[in-house]
Structure 1
Amino acid sequence: MKSNLIFSIIFFLSIQISYGLQNVNYDESLVPKYSLPNVLVSNSGETINNRQKWETIRRPEILEIFSSQMYGRTPMEEIPVSYELLTENKDALDGKATLRQVKMTFSKNGKAVNALLLLMLPNHVKGKVPIFVGYNFKGNHSTLTDSSIIYSDNFKLVRDSTHQDWIRGVQSGRWDYEQIIKRGYGVATMCYHDIFPDKEGFKDQSIAALFSDYEDSQDRGDNWEAIGAWAWGSSRIVDYLETLPEIDIKKIALLGHSRQGKAALWAGALDPRFSLVISNNSGEGGAALSKREFGETIAIVSSIKPAWFAKNYNAYHHKEKEMPFDQHMLLALIAPRPLYVASAEEDLWADPKGEYLAAYHASPVYALYKKKGFNSDIAPEVHKPIYHDIGYHIRAGIHDVNAYDWYCYLNFTDKHFK
């Protein structure tokens, strides 16, 4: 954990130095006055005051905005996939769980991409198992010290052979399997590099390269990039889970941290099979309001290579005031399904206040379904979680996922799943 803390501090300091400390605002008094688009007023000015109008008028409008202006359009072409069970250990975690490793092979147009799914299921649960779906950052081998965990092919593209990220269990603190399994949930996790390597120059090794319009679509302003691809991959995990009789497909929780928190929100907006969505420290381009201009900015996050966002999003560099949308509208697309947003006290880069406010401003859409969001624009104190139909907590510490986060997520899912 100490090495993770040091890495996080160095990482965020390097980002800030790269873009100039003077260009990153951490002063609330310098946040400009801003006005958010009304999530319940249509493009034509019609007030949206019931669920039918939301679902037939406003929701499609907002989905189109994010597809065309920010995350890009997800291709509708079907990519064939095959599944191969590589290993099964029914005595994992000292007999508490069954661990499976499954190779998913996506293939089309003479190309193939392999992705390794790690599935951990509780042995004590009688009946169908509710499950958390989420990407890991450093390979399935990083989530626990088990020597049987297979390294993924794409991880070789992003880390050289001497890098410490090859160490088993290097991010085990982010995956509290013991607590999750004890509470009766399963976990389906995959290295996000398997779907789209997060290193410039390897897009041809991503699933995007399998689609028929891959070459012709690169210059399109609304072409999807990494976040869109990661969101697509999350849904393909659900496709596989639907083939397993022991999984409760009506109780699938999607969890994403940081850039994967952004992808989780977009996946949740696109795919209603995610019955609960969790955004952990997702910040700019995720749960945080862009118009607040606090911490990371659009100009910074959309300049990261490889590209995470559609090219059209670049039009809003230093022009947040001109945006006809903001992230509260993205969160609203999850309604009426349970939504949880989490922040960390020291993670100013991700703008914790902006993350809470986005959830607050999404609450009127939940009210259309008689679901409970937030009635105050003042965020709760540290370690005072809210477990409504929209949930939230802010904890002490840095940009990370830890046991306290999982404790809150499990409480929230217990409320809505059990």
Structure 2
Amino acid sequence: MATLQEILAARKLPELMTMNDGGAVAGIGGWEKRRVELLDVLAQEVYGVSPAPVPASWKLEEEAAAYADKAVEKRFTVSFDTPKGVFSFPLYLAVPRSEKPAPCILLMNFRAQIPDEYYPVEEILDHGFATACVYYEDVSSDDADMENGLAGCYSLAERRDGQMGKIGCWAYAMSRAADVLLEQPELRKDGIITAGHSRLGKTSLWCAAQDRRVAGCISNDAGCSGDAVTRGKLGEHIVDITANYPFWFSASYQRHRNREEQMPFDQHFLLAAIAPRPLAIGSAQIDEWADPQSQLLSCIAAGPAWQLYGLGALAMPQEMIPVDSALQDGAVSFHYRSGTHFLSRRDWQYYLNFFAKKLKL
């Protein structure tokens, strides 16, 4: 049986540590230049170019004690300027009562309900984290309508190459939510962690890769065009995801349908752009569409970025790790749980334990 290293070599991924001009990445300074190249190719070819950051303003709409008075819940309206006027969306925040600022997990979620089956607020608080949440369709609908919400504010219906899709919209809104969170004195300035599941795991990755203020990233079952390398993977491929959800991406992503071996990038570029900040990836056994092995291979392939900073990425297994186990000793965490495509309580336990250790809670 081939080892993971042999399987990865056979995938023939684009070189992470080679500059566009063919030169080798030299030290951290060279990596910072390479990171710009990675973000540029991902913007031009996959997610689209994000608008320049426009810092958000905020209004506190509601504040109340919660969870047996061990926390305070706040609800904000977040607003910022766009080419077509001011755009606003709601932001939820729960903060544990504490004498010192808390790190905050910022979740882009599929539903507006709080708490939610994907979002165990009280358990997150009990681990010492604050938590914030944005309902993704408060930003833009999850469909081909490019005229509503934030998509309409940037004339995305034109669908030009390099123009952002819905993932770009959601990721940009996450950064505007971070603007607000970074102004809250009860939150750690070095502790904003983005989080998301499935397509919103892709969103969490894209936000964290671009926004250096983000201290860490959680991506759960993001799979194709997210946290799994595309070359050689099982299940979903670009031809599938662009047929079913073309509006998530830039129109330019279509040209890589059935041409994955020729792409000048793969998804380990996205993971590596988050280095040296901690990154946690979750996979599920019965999720062939995402392909857990290709998620793990992506983490391994991205590892040299963390190693440049003197940080271990993750242990280098010879084969796929056992079900219901995790690799969490380095700056990159990978876990593989039983079950289907879902953001479960077990996933949250892996993420909370990892980031509690990384942030020294």
Q: Which amino acid aligns with 2:320?
A: A
Where 1:133 maps in the other structure, the secondary structure is strand
Which residue of structure 2 lines up, in the alignment, with residue 51 of structure 1? 28
Counterpart pick for 2:332 among 390, 393, 402: 390
Task: Classify 1:318/1:110 alpha carbon distance in 2 versus 1 (closer, same or farther; 3 Å).
Answer: closer
Partner Cα separation in structure 1 for residue 287 and residue 53 of structure 2: 38
Corresponding residue number in structure 1 for 2:346? 404
Q: 1:99 aligns with which of 60, 64, 73?
A: 73
Q: Which residue of 2 aligns with 1:182?
A: 126
Alignment of 1:115 onto 2:92? no
Match of 1:143 in 2: 114
Greater mean alpha carbon deviation, residues 399-408 or residues 101-110: 101-110
Residues 106 and 43 from structure 1, CA distance in 2 versus in 1: closer, same or farther, beyond 3 angstroms? closer
Tell me the secondary structure at the aligned position of residue 79 of structure 2: strand
Distance in 2 between residues matched to 1:220 and 1:275, nearest whole Å: 32
Deviation of the 1:178 alpha carbon: 2.0
Does 1:376 pair with 2:311? no
What's the offset of the Cα at 1:83? 2.0
How far apart in 1 are the matches of 2:20 and 2:268?
Answer: 16
- Which residue of the partner structure matches residue 19 of structure 2? 42
Residue 246 of structure 1 and its aligned partner are, at CA, apart by: 1.0
Matches within 5 A, 1:53-92: 53-56=30-33, 58-76=34-52, 78=54, 81-90=56-65, 92=66
In 2, are the aligned partners of 1:337 and 1:389 still within 8 Å (CA)? yes
C-alpha displacement at 1:383, in angstroms? Answer: 1.8
Q: Output the CA distance in 1 between the equivalents of 2:143 and 2:70.
A: 37
Contact 1:226–1:308 (8 Å) recurs in 2: yes
Aligned to 1:149: none
Paired with 1:362 and 1:32, the residues of 2 have a C-alpha distance of 13
Distance in 1 of aligned mates of 2:299 and 2:222: 12
Q: Give the TM-score taking structure 1 as reference length.
A: 0.80
Which letter does structure 2 place at the counterpart of 1:417?
Answer: L
Q: Deviation of residue 175 (structure 1)?
A: 1.3
- In the other structure, the counterpart of 1:169 is none
**What are structure 1's unaligned runs of at least 5 residues?**
1-30, 145-171
Which residue in the other structure is 1:154 paired with? none
Q: What is aligned with 2:4?
A: none
Q: Is the 8 A contact 1:254 1:264 kept in 2?
A: yes
Residues of 2 paired with 1:81 and 1:359: CA distance? 33
Q: How much does 1:376 deviate?
A: 3.2
Q: Contact conserved, 2:268 with 2:299, CA < 8 A, in 1?
A: yes
Distance 1:377 1:369, change over 3 A: farther
Distance across 2 between alignment mates of 1:265 and 1:413? 16
Is contact 1:49-1:368 (8 Å) kept? no
How far 1:130 sits from its partner (Å)? Answer: 0.7
Structure 2: 5+ residue runs without aligned partners?
Answer: 1-7
How many residue pairs were aligned?
351
Shift of 1:315: 0.7
Identity, % of aligned pairs?
32
| 3-state SS of 1:288 partner | coil
Pairing 1:300-379 to 2, within 5 Å after superposition = 300-305=240-245, 307-374=247-314, 375-376=316-317, 378-379=319-320
CA contact (8 A) 1:98 1:120 kept: yes
CA contact (8 A) 1:143 1:174 kept: no
The residue that corresponds to 2:148 in the other structure is 205
RMSD: 1.9
Structure possessing the higher radius of gyration over alpha carbons = 1
Q: Could you tell me how far apart the structure 2 residues matched to 1:194 and 1:136 are?
A: 10
Letter in 1 for 2:199: R
**Letter matched to residue 386 of structure 1:** L
Q: Which runs of 4+ in 1 moved over 6 A?
A: none
Residue 77 of structure 1 deviates from its aligned partner by 6.4
